[in-house]
Amino acid sequence: MTRFPDSARPEHVAIIMDGNGRWAKGRGLRRILGHRKGVEAVRRTVDAAAESGIGYLTMFAFSSENWKRPEDEVNDIMDMIALFIQRELENYHRKNMRFRMIGERSGLGPKVLNALESAEVRTRDNTGLTVIVAVNYGARAEIARAAAALARDAAAGLIAPDEIDEAMLSGRLDTAGIPDPDLIIRTSGEQRLSNFLMWQGAYSELVFLPCLWPDFSRDIFFEALDEYARRSRRFGGLLEEPSVLTGS
């Protein structure tokens, strides 16, 4: 059962899952233990998203800038992503969820790439919640790839340069066919997008939360949806004002 009417419920929620390392450091633990605890928050969030009735959930699992981290930490994160997908795939498939990956695939190792692509194939005909996992993802690189693809088509005479518009570029992004996020949530108190869905998030509502990602819960997720429901989205326009003469 959903708790929000369609008019107040976002169709697509995206989350920057931040704070695993700080969660671990604050407890005197190794950073990897924070990432492992963060996996539990992912599980809670996917379940809450399905319960809420939204159509799409995008989770920023690993950015293209995260390769700068220590090699052992990167390897552990990749192993955890692959293991999570492998363990949860059949459960989420039975729940009619669909998986999709965005990001640069060519930079990923075979273990995590095979897990993600297998999940895409296994669930491609499902019609419930779509879970989008952003791995090796950076918005600037995504936009550059889309622009390069359009440039190649223009050079080949398949399209005229003057025909290129926003819709055409959107159709070449990793998120082609996915609605733009209505709501972007970031944990850990940081207040920036960090190269995440910069094109798609042009008109997203932003909710920045002080909690660290491992502490993210079902209740916090629904509180963010409550905050979204209180917002007025104008997309550059004006809200209609009641008529002074008619009182309507």
Q: Is 117 annotated as a binding residue?
A: no
Q: Is 22 annotated as a binding residue?
A: yes
Q: Is 9 annotated as a binding residue?
A: no
Q: Is 248 annotated as a binding residue?
A: no
Q: Which residues are catalytic?
A: 18, 66
Q: What is the DSSP string of 212-223?
A: -GGG--HHHHHH
Q: Is 63 annotated as a binding residue?
A: yes
Q: Is 67 annotated as a binding residue?
A: yes
Q: Is 243 annotated as a binding residue?
A: no
CA dist 43 and 17 (Å) reads 12
Q: Is 87 annotated as a binding residue?
A: no
Q: Is 153 annotated as a binding residue?
A: no
Q: Is 12 annotated as a binding residue?
A: no
User: How many C-beta atoms surround the C-beta of residue 233 within 10 A?
Assistant: 12
Q: Is 11 annotated as a binding residue?
A: no
Q: Is 186 annotated as a binding residue?
A: yes
User: Can you say which residues are annotated as belonging to the binding site?
Assistant: 18-23, 31, 35, 63-65, 67, 69, 186, 192-194, 205
Residues in binding site for substrate: 19-23, 31, 35, 63-65, 67, 69, 186, 192-194
- Residues in binding site for Mg(2+): 18, 205
